[in-house]
Structure 1
Amino acid sequence: MKSQIRKKLFFILPLSILASLLIFISCNTDGITESEYQIQYTRTAQLENVYENEILVLSNEFIQQTSLLETSIQEFKTTPTLVNLTKTQASWLATLKVWKQLELYNLGAVENSFIHFEINRWPTNSETINEHINGTETINEAFIASKGSSAKGISALEYLLFSSEENQEILNSFTTELNFERRLDYLLSLSNNLKTKANALLSLWENDKSDFISSVENGISGSQNQLTNAMITLIEEVIISKLGNPLGNNTGGIINLDDLEASRSITSLVIIQEHLNALKRCYNGDFLENEINWGYDNYLGLIERDDLDLSIIEAFNNCQTKIDAIHNPLTIELINNPENVENLQDAFRDLLVLIKVDMSNAIGTTVTINDNDGD
């Protein structure tokens, strides 16, 4: 049934895709086969869908959230109360959720700019942050911009806004402790810089739009190839860095809560959920409701691999089931029910094999080597 729907929808093209394909065909003096034409069409439709309906949408939402966060921090700096601290923490969390979806799309010109490191590099360097706060240089956005990525961005904001102590203790660090005024300056300057980087990220994507959508060739320079590798990289990060290290995979099974990303804010599982949301949407292209959404599933249908599509969807659903089975923050679950975290890691391992091996082989992806290896 799904493949029949694909065939009925196949020739309903957005005008921009139709125009680019007509130019492509008319300029190709050697001609292309119908199969090649369908492959080019599906890739172009998929890339335009992910660019217009996910990357641009998330980038603009990220700008909006960083602006709201900046405003919230300014209000907290002016009136440092528990109420305003709680509002700022909530605004930080909203910003984090958007970023952890957008983080998937670190490819092409964006990857080459290293801007993702400027926005969120984990773990943050708390020692360096404290050295800056206890120093004498004027703290403003220019100061933050001149410093290394491990002392700024989303993780640095988390370090200042959250801790294992009660919120009153956090508030005291901004009101009564040594250099509290410089701490407030650092907090606000971090938010200024983050908003600047959010706008710079959108500009990078807008400038790269044409190259991203038109790069439909096979090989490492093709955008679909880069997108697939970005999915693989993120899944491996979940398996190794976000779950494996805290589980003690490299330390003989010794649980290490300090290896959890965003453990101060108790949002480690929230991050993994946002990653899963982004990965699944990237796979099936379902960014908007009631639209023709082109994704990898359409491509697999084109090459008659609906069986693999079903397996991948089942793997995504299994990951969600394992997340839903965890009813505590990972800081608690790792101690009380580590088997649930192991089950989640295994579910992502199954997903990795399907994406990295089965799907990549089916669609002709060249898998590139990265620092992770989730096998």
Structure 2
Amino acid sequence: MKKTLISALSILLMALVMLSCQKDPSSGTPEPNPGTTPDRKALLTQWADSLVKPGYQRFNDKLAALKTKTTAFTAAPTTATLLDARQAWQQAYVEWQKVEMFEFGPAETVSLRNHFNIYPTDAVGIRQNISSGTYNFDLATAIPQQGFPALDYLLNGLAADDAAIVQQYVASANHRRYLTDVVAKMDEKFGKVYGEWNGSYRNTFINNVGTDASSSLSRVINAYSLYFERYLRAGKVGIPAGTMTGNPAPDKIEAYYFRGELPVQLAATAHAAVQLFFNGRSASQPSLKAYLNALGAKDSRTNQTLSDLVNAQLGVSYQKLSSLSPDLYATIRTRNADAVAAYNEMQKAVRMIKVDMTSALGITVTYVDNDGD
């Protein structure tokens, strides 16, 4: 009887000690539940095989079509071949929005974004390059003289109408050469990135687990946050709307020379890609959302699930962004307050992604955004 009592007291004491060692759930983010600890390698594998590589493959197809159509145009400049080249440019530009956020690994190494989508384009510099016939796209000064924005100028803004644009190419070998060289540089840079992902880099990426600054998870999250904050929120909306300066600048929109519905389409496509990356393609597969849920990540102020809050805010900002259609240039000129409102909703999502999410993941933000907001 005495031994039984001692044994019972010992068990009770052990239970109390174990309970006292557990983390107070009210003190911060709860510990993962047993059996649901996030598998970083599985997440990285899902990103590589279901998002990055397929996304790059689809973009590679559009880039190949763009090369084919621009080659046909420079070989025989007509209104018909110009329209074909312009359509291929537009389709490739939309597809680019789905992969531009992947500026890590090989894309970061070759500065892919700098060669593809820095705008507004330098039209004066492009004209000087064409006139001289001498240029080097690897120089820092040439960054805004190439990529999709340069093609926007070359296919849409070179003259007052399509017939005049065609005549420029008919009359000038330098114009034909510059257009060819811009596309060739894009093909060269992307070819390196695409080749590495289809080669050894995929395994390097998925095996680089951890949360330190050099890990795949850290590089992806930093690239993701930077893209949403600087290139989507600020670049596509904030800067043209003048949120940093107080002076609207509609001439700084993406696809400025083509205009119409395309600038909003590009921004909305990019925003949808950001949310898709967060949620993944299937609820049953690893994703950033599932990873946060497994960590038990919650908002410290409301105790709501962080992934739900992020998704809700992204949904609101997407709706605000979509409301700027059909013509972003006209919207900024006539109802800029709507563009500012869309920017403000995206800014709320920036805080959740850059501060709350990175904190929950144990990721250090390694970039500095100094746009003044």
- In structure 2, do the counterparts of structure 1 residues 136 and 269 end up closer, same or farther at CA, with 3 Å as the change threshold? closer
Give the Cα separation in 1 of the matches to 2:285 and 2:85. Answer: 36
Choose the corresponding residue for 1:239, options 227, 233, 241.
233
Q: Given the two structures, how large is their TM-score scaled by the length of structure 2?
A: 0.81
* Aligned residue in 2 for 1:327: 325
CA RMSD of aligned residues (A): 2.6
Shift of 1:270: 2.2
Is residue 2:215 matched to residue 1:222?
yes
Note if contact 2:106-2:193 (Cα within 8 Å) is conserved in structure 1. no
Choose the corresponding residue for 2:182, options 185, 190, 204.
190
Give the Cα separation in 2 of the matches to 1:222 and 1:122. Answer: 30
Paired residues in the alignment total 331
**Structure 2: gaps (5+ residues):** 1-30, 299-304
Give the Cα separation in 1 of the matches to 2:268 and 2:160. Answer: 25
- In structure 2, do the counterparts of structure 1 residues 207 and 318 end up closer, same or farther at CA, with 3 Å as the change threshold? same
Please, which moves more after superposition, 45-54 or 163-172?
Answer: 163-172
Give the Cα separation in 2 of the matches to 1:301 and 1:70. Answer: 43
* Aligned residue in 1 for 2:101: 104
What is the CA deviation profile of residues 70-101 of structure 1, one whole-angstrom value per residue up to 9, with x for unaligned ones? 11112212332222211111100111112122
* Aligned residue in 2 for 1:122: 119
For 1:194, the aligned partner's letter is M
What is the CA deviation profile of residues 197-231 of structure 1, one whole-angstrom value per residue up to 9, with x for unaligned ones? 22111123333212211222122122222221112
Give the Cα separation in 2 of the matches to 1:268 and 1:234. Answer: 17
Give the Cα separation in 2 of the matches to 1:265 and 1:89. Answer: 9
* Aligned residue in 2 for 1:300: 292
Is residue 2:80 matched to residue 1:86?
no
Please, which moves more after superposition, 161-170 or 59-68?
Answer: 161-170
Note if contact 2:112-2:190 (Cα within 8 Å) is conserved in structure 1. no
Give the Cα separation in 1 of the matches to 2:227 and 2:151. Answer: 23
Shift of 1:34: 9.0
Is residue 2:346 matched to residue 1:348?
yes
Q: Whose radius of gyration is greater, 1 or 2?
A: 2
Shift of 1:39: 3.7
Give the Cα separation in 2 of the matches to 1:134 and 1:36. Answer: 67
Note if contact 1:312-1:351 (Cα within 8 Å) is conserved in structure 2. yes
* Aligned residue in 1 for 2:360: 362
Is residue 2:34 matched to residue 1:49?
no
What is the CA deviation profile of residues 172-202 of structure 1, one whole-angstrom value per residue up to 9, with x for unaligned ones? 32235xxx22201211222222222221111
- In structure 2, do the counterparts of structure 1 residues 374 and 100 end up closer, same or farther at CA, with 3 Å as the change threshold? farther
* Aligned residue in 2 for 1:172: 167
For 2:310, the aligned partner's letter is I
For residues 135-154 of structure 1, the aligned pairs below 5 Å read 135-136=132-133, 148-154=142-148
For residues 220-299 of structure 1, the aligned pairs below 5 Å read 220-237=213-230, 238-251=232-245, 253-266=246-259, 267-286=262-281, 292-299=284-291
Give the Cα separation in 1 of the matches to 2:79 and 2:38. Answer: 56
- In structure 2, do the counterparts of structure 1 residues 123 and 102 end up closer, same or farther at CA, with 3 Å as the change threshold? same
Give the Cα separation in 2 of the matches to 1:295 and 1:34. Answer: 16
Note if contact 2:152-2:255 (Cα within 8 Å) is conserved in structure 1. yes
- In structure 2, do the counterparts of structure 1 residues 120 and 370 end up closer, same or farther at CA, with 3 Å as the change threshold? same
- In structure 2, do the counterparts of structure 1 residues 199 and 109 end up closer, same or farther at CA, with 3 Å as the change threshold? closer
Find the residue that maps to 1:194 and give its secondary structure: helix
Is residue 2:105 matched to residue 1:69?
no
Note if contact 2:72-2:81 (Cα within 8 Å) is conserved in structure 1. yes
Find the residue that maps to 2:84 and give its secondary structure: helix
Q: How many percent identity over aligned positions?
A: 21
Q: Given the two structures, how large is their TM-score scaled by the length of structure 1?
A: 0.80
Is residue 2:311 matched to residue 1:313?
yes
Note if contact 1:240-1:374 (Cα within 8 Å) is conserved in structure 2. no
Give the Cα separation in 2 of the matches to 1:136 and 1:332. Answer: 36
Give the Cα separation in 1 of the matches to 2:69 and 2:108. Answer: 30
Give the Cα separation in 2 of the matches to 1:316 and 1:115. Answer: 26
Give the Cα separation in 2 of the matches to 1:234 and 1:136. Answer: 34
Shift of 1:112: 2.8
